[in-house]
Structure 1
């Protein structure tokens, strides 16, 4: 039996009919109405179709945030093809791998990345053609020219079923090669509805959303939900994150919501521009991608008000596992504050803490966070081994560790891969990081385990002090000694100006370890081992 669902490209069609002249996309001084967006999307879809792209074909897109990036998503959906966006900060060989792994037939590449275009063209198999986005000297054609050639074309949204793929959402690859999570039209229809229900209730076409992250991943999902209500999407003028400019745009367009990650939210809250521009229009600042440390959370609430919305959800579950709404973000610690939680189950989703045997664990007991529900992806593309590891008895295994309290609130204690064992005891870095960040002079930190011949593994902490502040290892160790058990105390403390971050704004422990190695700060460990 066929299970027909709405093609996600119909979102633009709906808006063009009902909100014809309302702005749907704003970048710099240029604004596109929903009618113009519909015309651009149809023209791009017609151009792709003329080059043989149809249902099930993969369209790889490597681009900075721009109008073409936004339009390409809907044009691909319209054809029943599969959108394969990449993070524009990836290296050429990484994008070439994504091209091969996805079996891309078309490649849309921003003009700033000729090396990426060359690497993808040399991949095996290579896409049938490459189109350039913007100025540059490569590619069979420029996307803007293709759109202009086909303006006026009317391309219908191809019939799709619930399980038809629409998006290959590549994981960030912090533990190895990125994998393509297969997102489907039916799944994404649920996710859009759920985002509007649980994250930003009351959103309408009168709202406006500021984009401060790459549209290739979580921000793209967020903007899809915004588009479903006809709300305007507003881009920063360049890929550089200019906080002062972000606040100017919030004031100018009365921005009501934005999606970000904890590191950027922290920067927004601590920047002087927060006191220089009107941001009273903000109703929802949605953050995800990593847990937010409590001290940072309190500072953001004090500066921006009770507008924070946290969600937990991997790309494989399309950001759709838990939610902590504004009303439950307590600005002060107290008996009723749920400190450390990432919220409760999203509507239509079920979360369970499981042991190694797959059995549900009692409230308060730590285990692996597992989830079922309509937001869970269809599996990894062409990767049966990864699928076998990711699913157990129908439950998706997140790889994150945590526990649930008696009221159903989830607490993440870390990645299973981050845990280290010292002297036979399991140690979870997040707990230690939380304690270190209560020191008023420290703004960022990362704790990780390293091999040790005596203890098996030992912990080291990399801390970022506030500008102009000098700290010593002994000072931090003394501060921490009253807050954690002795066996959890890091063996060494290092002080850097900043922590390395991935293109997704996260702080992967492997990058911290690589930087420790590059700085020669692991030499003492080798000396001790010898």
Structure 2
């Protein structure tokens, strides 16, 4: 075609590790508890793991399912899969055995790397896919699986395993959607796409990062945290894992102080826990330069607390797994503790480098600044599509644009404001209502720590709003008082008709508050019957 090459060969992502081992062989690459692996040690282990998996039949294009807590072997498995040209298929370790078995079937996985703490998952997967090769991670569990990864690594110590040649569109990672609106789908991420994502993240989220930085992992490596750590590896900086799978705020701050951590990726619920814990005042966290949060909205009241405790280090990004987080960024300089024009209250930032946003109506027409519609995006970070799911792909794309399912508007300067999910919107008396703006307002009341607003059926209005709230420690507030307050601060037609106070909101394995789980809990408690509000 016009004399241009027809193939688009790109760097195999495992080369990041090889490069670090050459340039920084004795520099820490991974720290877990008291154990430190240098880049040279990591390269040797990944090479041996790749050789071991290849000896068991793993080849380019094969899927390697991984069900594990954060540990060195899970971290290594990513690069071993990449090196083989295989596809890394990590799961959320909190999933149930039958859910993991479904992912094994949907992905067509050839090998299953399963942490030794999950023998039931291994047994269920093996029963569902009898020809899968089960290999245990994490030691222990005698007789678990067909082999143990550490034994295999030791047996292939010193082996040579060159990175398999890959092209731009060769899959490297199946990134499972959370499944909060139905069955999980495998978003196909590719070597070429992820190389762009790494450069984009380093440009927009953690600029000027070098091997002298350090990153703490406080979320599962199976999803956003894994993508963030790929950026850290690309710069040769060490990754620090929490010593256990239990999130310990005190331990997190201890590690930040000890290792002079400069960046971490988290979600708003975890960030809220970090800055509201007494440990934030006991440890030195002045080394932090970037505390990145994404995955869900962070309410303004919580932003202010985080800025007061940590200083000007917050970075927000908006993105989905399908766009690998690359839609908008709100950098540190755009986070202001004081309200005012510069604070741009409610924005999630502006377009990421190399990406373009369009606000569109249901017909695909682009809307002008200030008008609300679906947030659509194009650019090199957009995934290749859902694996073997043409129906989902047809719904996800229109004229080349990826349809995020999120609703919002852009201002005249290109800052994006998310109103909510298309699936969260409800219609009351003919008016479209988006819960997020109501939730934002409720959190300014002062007594509310967390809130979820959703629409429920109503015989008169079609749907009405219900607010489920969690009070701050020591706060006192009842339904009538909150509704009276809302009536003074929110347009009357948007005020939820019922309010419930719970000890906690249900959360997904990633720290989000899916409205589906809130609705399920309301139904389980018998609270969706037409009635005047009550506490439960």
TM over 0.5: yes
> Is 1:484 paired with 2:478?
no
* Residues 99-123 of structure 1, C-alpha deviations (whole Å, 9 max, x = no match): 0000000000011111111111111
Measured in 2, the distance between the counterparts of 1:266 and 1:129 equals 38
| In 1: Cα distance, 2:526 partner to 2:149 partner | 47
Residue 334 of structure 1 and its aligned partner are, at CA, apart by 1.2
| Conserved 8 A contact 1:190-1:375 | yes
Specify the SS of the correspondent of 1:336: helix
1:516 Cα offset (Å): 1.3
| 1:90 matches 2:95 | yes
1:254 correspondence with 2:260? yes
TM-score (norm 2): 0.97
Q: Would you say 1:64 and 2:72 are equivalent positions? A: no
- Of 74-83 and 508-517, the range deviating more from structure 2: 508-517
Residues 339, 345 of structure 2: 8 Å contact kept: yes
For the residue of structure 2 that corresponds to 1:285, the secondary structure is: strand
CA distance in 2, matches of 1:365, 1:93: 44
Look up the match of 1:185: 191
Deviation at 1:300?
0.6
- Give the 3-state SS of the residue equivalent to 1:277 in structure 2: coil
The question of whether the paired residues in 2 share the 8 Å contact of 1:108 and 1:133 is answered with no
Q: 1:455 aligns with which of 451, 457, 461?
A: 461
Deviations 1:423-448 (A, max 9, x none): 11111110110111001111000001
TM-score, structure 1 length as denominator? Answer: 0.98
Equivalent in the alignment of 2:304? 298
Write the distance in 2 (CA, Å) between the matches of 1:517 and 1:394: 39
Find the residue that maps to 2:489 and give its secondary structure: coil
Q: Which residue of 2 aligns with 1:327?
A: 333
The secondary structure found in structure 2 opposite 1:382 is coil
The equivalent position to 2:290 in structure 1, one of 281, 284, 295, is 284
Give the conservation status (yes or no) of the 8 Å contact 2:135–2:149: no
Equivalences for residues 144-223 of structure 1 within 5 A: 144-223=150-229
For structure 1, which runs of at least 5 residues remain unmatched after alignment? none
Secondary structure in structure 2 of the residue aligned to 1:482: helix
What are the ranges of 5 or more consecutive residues in structure 2 without an aligned counterpart? 1-5
| Match runs of 1:26-425 below 5 Å | 26-124=31-129, 126-137=131-142, 138-425=144-431
1:64-95 residue CA offsets vs partner (Å, 9 max, x unmatched): 00000000000000000000000001111111
Query: How many residues were matched structurally?
Result: 527
Tell me by how many angstroms 1:135 deviates: 1.6
Q: Distance in 2 between matches of 1:125 and 1:326?
A: 50
Query: Alpha-carbon deviation of 1:131?
Result: 3.4
Q: 1 CA distance for matches of 2:191 and 2:130?
A: 26
Using the alignment, how far apart are the partners of 1:68 and 1:18 within structure 2?
23
- Post-superposition offset of 1:518: 2.0
Distance 1:325 1:17 in 2: 33
* Contact 2:65-2:91 within 8 A present in 1 as well: yes
Q: How far apart, CA to CA, are the structure 2 residues paired with 1:230 and 1:500?
A: 37
Rounded Cα–Cα distance in structure 2 between residues aligned with 1:456 and 1:287: 36
CA–CA distance in 2 between the matches of 1:154 and 1:441? 61
| Residue 454 of structure 1: how far off its partner (Å) | 1.5
